[in-house]
Amino acid sequence: MLSAARRLLPHVSRVVQHSSVRQEHSLKEVVSAFRSVCGEDGVSTGESVRQQHGKDESVHRCRPPDVVVFPRCVEEVSALAKICNRHNLPIIPFGTGTGLEGGVGALKGGVCFSLRKMDKVLDVHQEDFDVTVEPGVTRKALNSYLRDTGLWFPVDPGADASLCGMAATSASGTNAVHYGTMRENVLNLEVVLADGTIVHTAGKGRRPRKSVAGYNLTNLFVGSEGTLGIITKATLRLYGIPEAVVSAVCSFPSVQAAVDSTVHILQAGVPIARIEFLDDVMIDACNKFSSLSYPVMPTLFLEFHGTENSLNEQVRTTEEITSANGGADFQWALDEETRARLWKARHDAWYAGLALRPGCKAYATDVCVPLSRLPNIIVETKEDLIQNRLTGPIAGHVGDGNFHCLMVLDPDDSDEVQRVHLFTERLARRALALEGTCTGEHGVGLGKRALLREEMGPGAMGVMQSLKETLDPRNLMNPGKVL
């Protein structure tokens, strides 16, 4: 219990000390070997650089690596991995450090591979709707690069994350209901294994839209959170930039009504692009934070993509459905300025939640259940929050059955920390009991390994363990995560 509580106490830090002289010696050797691969300025043992590379945007405390290296190409990544392998040093790949589950913490020290110098967009194929990128390319940088082609990469997890990092965590986001997650949109990966072998998961340079050639290695590495290999290139599926976008907002008398509307909208075949749920606590927070005046009720934020004609139909059908479910105050807009105003609450949600209790930290839960179970789990979860005096405004990608409780907590109040921890475990188990998952999009990382075992069961865990042992027999790839 205490170690679990420590996970949520970011300021309680004990510097992990590597005190043996023998280890210091071999660190010096290794650092000079690294420098001969990626140059003098491609290696850092500076304290602030290591600190920067030991944490992400989760509540997990900083676990700095011993060294940070900055390779410039896949050959350097491979050479560095071979050196790490020879000296038994953990390897932690690092993209933008925007993860939410502590995935980049160097629990056993070791070498952080920062891939930010490999930042080229390679091979845009406009007619084939695909592009290949290196790990230093973030999703906003790619979309800016592509803007004149009429194409974009729609997976949007919020942060301006590295696309290869998004592949490693199988990122999702508000758009997934229409465009899918990374799982559906990665065609090929170039991966460096723990022993330095370079692998092309779908064959070198290949980018057919579909293939049945051999085992699906691409999707083995997607979502592996750096525990099976270092992703050095990703070939991604692109989509046409929508001709027009309409945003809408609607409030409901109950959570049930909002979720029922979501289910009906999807069943009606409306190709809705985003459908986001904010509960009354969250709306109240947003009203206070941004001086807005939404009715303080469960609310849906919707977005539609398409041609102007199809949008008219989509909006009309949706309005009928929401109104049939007791929805009120349906507002929609086509022009960018009004759309931004309508969606402001959803955009500011994280900060609005934090502002509820200044000085506190926030942790987002991340369960996902089949759609039909969503009203059930949200209602039970809200009761749990009230009973246990917890602050947990809810925001969710209801179109996927995925929602986040933004737990706002005082890290110095050990009782509250404990209550939050137990709450999140109950929530995860509630989701598992409803045929869902303990992590819809943030990943297993550091904090959900026990839940993963409960979710998967011994059979699947056994297979995962064997794969890990085969690809990384010495457990050098991001040790202590996922499994």
Partner 1 sequence: MSGRVLVGVKRVIDYAVKIRVKPDHSGVVTEGVKHSMNPFCEIAVEEAVKMKEKKLIKEVVVVSCGPQQVQETIRTALAMGADRGIHVEVLAKDYESLGPLQVSKIMAALAKKEEAQLIILGKQAIDGDCNQTGQMTAALLDWSQGTFASEVTLEGGQVKVVREIDGGLETIKINTPAVLTADLRLNTPRYATLPNIMKAKKKKIANVKPVDLGVELTSKLEVLRVDEPPQRQAGVKVETVDDLVGKLKEAGRI
3-class DSSP state of 473: coil
Question: CB of residue 48 vs partner 1: minimum separation in angstroms?
Answer: 13
Question: CB of residue 156 vs partner 1: minimum separation in angstroms?
Answer: 15
Can you point out the beta strands (E) in 172-273? 186-192, 198-200, 230-237, 239-240, 244-251
Question: What's the rounded Cα separation, in Å, for the pair 219 and 325?
Answer: 39
Terminal-to-terminal C-alpha distance of the chain: 19
Q: Which of 36, 86, 150, 267 binds partner 1 (CB under 8 A)?
A: 150
Question: CB of residue 44 vs partner 1: minimum separation in angstroms?
Answer: 14
Question: CB of residue 309 vs partner 1: minimum separation in angstroms?
Answer: 12
CB nearer to partner 1: give 124 or 296: 124
Question: CB of residue 144 vs partner 1: minimum separation in angstroms?
Answer: 6
Exposure b/e, 299-315, CB count within 10 A at least 16 = b? bbbbbbbbeeeebeebb
Question: What's the rounded Cα separation, in Å, for the pair 107 and 480?
Answer: 7
Count CB-CB contacts under 10 A for residue 113: 28
Phi, psi of 368 (to 5 degrees): -145, 130
CB nearer to partner 1: give 4 or 124: 124
Binding-residue pattern over the window 152 to 181 for partner 1, x denoting contact by CB under 8 A: x-----------------------------
Question: CB of residue 147 vs partner 1: minimum separation in angstroms?
Answer: 6
Beta bridge partner(s), residue 235: 132, 188
46 in contact with partner 1 (CB under 8 A)? no
CB nearer to partner 1: give 243 or 383: 243
149 in contact with partner 1 (CB under 8 A)? yes
Question: CB of residue 273 vs partner 1: minimum separation in angstroms?
Answer: 15
Burial class (CB in 10 A: 0-12, 13-18, 19+), 316: exposed
Amino acid symbol at 309:
N
Cβ–Cβ < 8 Å for 383, 417: no
Beta bridge partner(s), residue 306: 244
CB nearer to partner 1: give 55 or 305: 305
CB nearer to partner 1: give 320 or 336: 336
HSE-up (13 A, CA, CB side) for residue 4: 16
CB nearer to partner 1: give 23 or 126: 126
Place of tokens 């110095």: 412
Cβ–Cβ < 8 Å for 270, 311: no
Cβ–Cβ < 8 Å for 377, 426: no
CB nearer to partner 1: give 123 or 425: 123
Question: CB of residue 143 vs partner 1: minimum separation in angstroms?
Answer: 9
Question: What's the rounded Cα separation, in Å, for the pair 166 and 139?
Answer: 9
CB nearer to partner 1: give 92 or 151: 151
Pairing of strands 67-69, 111-114: parallel
The footprint of partner 1 on this chain (CB under 8 A) covers a number of residues equal to 14
CB nearer to partner 1: give 72 or 357: 72
Question: CB of residue 348 vs partner 1: minimum separation in angstroms?
Answer: 20
**Residues of span 211-270 touching partner 1 by CB under 8 A:** 240-243
User: Considering only 2-10, 147-155, 169-177, 460-468, which stretch makes contact with partner 1 by CB under 8 A?
Assistant: 147-155
310 in contact with partner 1 (CB under 8 A)? no
295 in contact with partner 1 (CB under 8 A)? no
**Neighbouring residues of 263: CB distance < 8 A, sequence distance ≥ 6:** 371, 372, 374
CB nearer to partner 1: give 336 or 413: 336
Question: CB of residue 305 vs partner 1: minimum separation in angstroms?
Answer: 11
The single-letter DSSP state of residue 107 is B
CB nearer to partner 1: give 86 or 147: 147
User: Considering only 146-154, 189-197, 355-363, 472-480, which stretch makes contact with partner 1 by CB under 8 A?
Assistant: 146-154
**Residues of span 126-145 touching partner 1 by CB under 8 A:** 141, 144-145
Cβ–Cβ < 8 Å for 90, 102: no
350 in contact with partner 1 (CB under 8 A)? no
336 in contact with partner 1 (CB under 8 A)? yes
Question: CB of residue 119 vs partner 1: minimum separation in angstroms?
Answer: 9
CB nearer to partner 1: give 121 or 461: 121
3-class DSSP state of 168: helix
151 in contact with partner 1 (CB under 8 A)? yes
Question: What's the rounded Cα separation, in Å, for the pair 199 and 31?
Answer: 26
> Could you tell me how many residues make up the chain?
483
308 in contact with partner 1 (CB under 8 A)? no
Q: Which of 14, 148, 215, 269 binds partner 1 (CB under 8 A)?
A: 148
331 in contact with partner 1 (CB under 8 A)? no
Question: What's the rounded Cα separation, in Å, for the pair 176 and 162?
Answer: 17
Beta bridge partner(s), residue 231: 191
Q: Which residues bind partner 1 (CB under 8 A)?
A: 141, 144-145, 147-152, 240-243, 336
